[in-house]
Amino acid sequence: MECTPGEGNMSPTRNSCARGTMGDMRPTAQCQPLKGPEGHDGAVPAARRHTPVLLERCLELLAPALSPQAGGAPGAVLIDCTLGMGGHAEAALERFPDLRVVGIDRDPQAIALAGERLARFGQRFSAVRTTYDHVDEVARSASSRQDGTVDAVLMDLGVSSLQLDEVGRGFSYARSAPLDMRMDQSGGTTAQELLDTAEERELARILRTYGEERFASRIASEIVRRRRAGQPVRTTDELVELVRAAVPAAARRAGGNPAKRTFQALRIAVNSELEVLKRAIPRALNSLRVGGRLVVESYQSLEDRVVKQALAAGASPRAPEGLPVVPLEAQPYLELLTRGAERAQATELAANPRSAPVRLRAAARTRPAAQAPAPHSTQRADGARHPSKNTRGRTRR
Ligand SMILES: C[S@@+](CC[C@H](N)C(=O)[O-])C[C@H]1O[C@@H](n2cnc3c(N)ncnc32)[C@H](O)[C@@H]1O
């Protein structure tokens, strides 16, 4: 969809497709007036709102798939699954002059800001508003190959500085705001609704599983007690205070803000982050041509575990040990490009403290997805296996 002049302060940007999270076609917010970080009109350029993390290393890892000089295909396609403010996408478009980038983001404001920033690349950039587990559909429509594959996929997970800094989004425990935390504010359940309606056991599970919070039960119990007393928490700072009061005194003093893990857990639950990621990684791997590359930056251990397991599985033979010859279908289909997870160096950490938690992993496809597809995950986000039916129809774990 292209904006028509006068519908907001956006210059027209190209959108190959504009989808909601369920794949339905709907207009993007590209024509909405943009707001500054404090919620006023008067746009702050996208480039100043978010500093891309490990940018040079990402480009270096992507280069062999994207640059014809390094053996990549001419007119290569990169899907940036987490477009954000378009920092990584812009650098890739500048570095690889033939490259086309399709950016995905579920946040309409990110699509709008990045679209404005990248409009100068014309047809070489397009954006799709959806969740990144639609990466395979996006790849098929962007691909010029019959098998629908692309050359590379980039994922820079989590929230952007725009989302963290913008008052009203409710992601940050540093400032008072309503408890929203949705990356796409056009639908879905807010953190407030979750806190108002979830049972105590469910709240404790969310805090324990997604926040790795030791005091999950205490915090959940206090949330529910406040609710029953007719004094539910209403804002981010009230939640911070509640957590502070609920945890033991020693935990208040150690390891930064004690509400950090609660905020992470609620954000992951509100946006179903791990479920979407588990669907997305095999789809991204199956959207790559042979030689195509996947680069993923994670910011917390749960998402890094999902990525690590999927890449390790693709890089190892699936035959039982001891077979004299590994059958073709059991041979690895990925080559790992990073040894373990790579972290930000001291200079980047000093310039951009938000790079501190990053863990970068990358892999290249060595066999076609048609021969060796990455299996769809059967694991739940908390690491347990999905219940599956045995042949007699009983559920087993
Ligand atoms: C860390 S930022 C990306 C920043 C970007 N690389 C840049 O340089 O500007 C992550 C972005 O991914 C988006 N995002 C997170 N989860 C998503 C999902 N499941 N589907 C689509 N977009 C998602 C967020 O809305 C956010 O804009």
pLDDT tens-digit series, residues 382-393: 444 333 333 233
pLDDT tens column, 167-196: 889 999 888 999 999 999 999 999 999 999
| C-alpha distance from residue 14 to each of 31, 114, 276 (Å) | 12, 11, 26
- What are the respective helix, strand and coil percentages of the chain, to the nearest 5? 40, 15, 45
Dihedral pair phi/psi, residue 94, rounded to 5° = -75, -40
Position 322 scores a pLDDT of 80
- Position 27: which residue type? P
Q: Give me the percent of the chain exceeding a pLDDT of 70.
A: 84
Ordered domains of the chain (ranges, CATH):
17-162+273-365 (3.40.50.150), 188-270 (1.10.150.170)
Report the distance separating Cα 308 and Cα 306, nearest Å.
6
Q: Report whether 87 belongs to an annotated binding site.
A: yes
* Least confident stretch, 18-22, 198-202, 325-329: 18-22
Measured in Å, residue 82 CA sits from the centre of ligand 1 at 4
Asked if 163 and 108 touch (Cβ cutoff 8 Å), the reply is no
C-alpha distance from residue 260 to each of 161, 241, 256, 326 (Å): 16, 12, 8, 46
Q: Which of 160, 267, 348 to mutate to test the pocket of ligand 1 (most atoms within 8 A of CB)?
A: 160
How many C-beta atoms lie closer than 10 Å to residue 26's C-beta? 12
Phi/psi of residue 138, nearest 5 degrees = -65, -40
Question: Are the CB atoms for 149 and 287 separated by under 8 Å?
Answer: yes
**Pocket lined around ligand 1, Cβ cut-off 6 Å:** 50, 52, 82, 84-88, 104-107, 110, 131-132, 156, 158-160, 183, 276
Query: pLDDT digit string (tens) for 126-145?
Result: 999 999 999 999 999 999 99
For residue 291, which of 326, 330, 360, 337 has the smallest C-alpha distance?
Answer: 337
- The amino acid present at 252, given as its one-letter code, is R
pTM of the model: 0.86
Measured CA to CA, the distance from residue 301 to residue 171 in angstroms comes to 19
For residue range 253-289, list pLDDT tens digits in order: 877 899 999 999 999 999 999 999 999 999 999 999 9
Residue whose CA is closest, atom 20 of ligand 1? 131
pLDDT band at 76 (very low <50, low <70, confident <90, very high): very high
Q: Is pLDDT of 123 > 90?
A: yes
pLDDT in tens, 309-330: 999 999 998 877 788 888 888 8
Q: What pLDDT shows up at residue 22?
A: 32
Bigger pLDDT: 38 vs 155: 155
